[in-house]
């Protein structure tokens, strides 16, 4: 009598968006992450896509990310982007007001 056992490979899924954020705040490219982790670019690509990777690959990616210092905060970058957007909107509003009144803002004061 033959017995067939179906084994299921153990693996993990990484949140691809979170991995992208981790790469961004470290100014790392996927190719460099693969080199640091000792993995193929294909494995890193699958991790970035949220596909299943082995637990060993997961640990290697985690160790590689921990070894690279964070260069500037992503939050700091986002706040700076929002500040630039707000300044641009304020400038646009001032120019629109100037155009509507027909005279420069300095002359209206």
The domain tally of the chain equals: 2
Q: What is the pLDDT of residue 39?
A: 97
Residue 6 lies in a domain: no
Residue 107 lies in a domain: no
With beta carbons less than 8 A apart as the criterion, state whether 57 and 47 touch.
yes
pLDDT band, residue 102 (cuts 50/70/90): low
C-alpha–C-alpha distance, residues 73 and 12, integer Å: 27
Instruction: Please tell me which residue, 105 or 97, carries the higher pLDDT value.
Output: 97
61 and 81 belong to one structural domain: no
C-alpha–C-alpha distance, residues 67 and 100, integer Å: 56
Tokens 């260069």, residue located: 71
Reported as a single tens digit per residue, the pLDDT across 22-78 is: 999 889 999 999 999 999 999 999 999 999 999 899 999 999 999 998 876 656 666
Residue 48 lies in a domain: yes
What residue numbers bound the domain in which 28 lies? 12-67
3-state secondary structure of 69: coil
98 and 51 belong to one structural domain: no
62 and 18 belong to one structural domain: yes
């Amino acid at each position: 009598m033959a017995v067939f056992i179906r084994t299921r490979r153990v693996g993990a899924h990484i949140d691809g968006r979170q991995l992208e954020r981790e790469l961004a705040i470290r100014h790392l490219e996927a190719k460099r992450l693969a080199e640091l982790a000792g993995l193929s670019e294909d494995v890193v690509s699958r991790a970035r896509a949220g596909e299943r990777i082995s637990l060993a690959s997961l640990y290697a990616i985690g160790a590689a990310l921990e070894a690279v210092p964070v260069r500037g905060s992503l939050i700091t970058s986002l706040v700076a982007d929002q500040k630039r957007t707000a300044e641009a909107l304020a400038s646009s509003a001032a120019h629109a007001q100037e155009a509507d009144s027909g005279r420069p803002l300095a002359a209206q004061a």
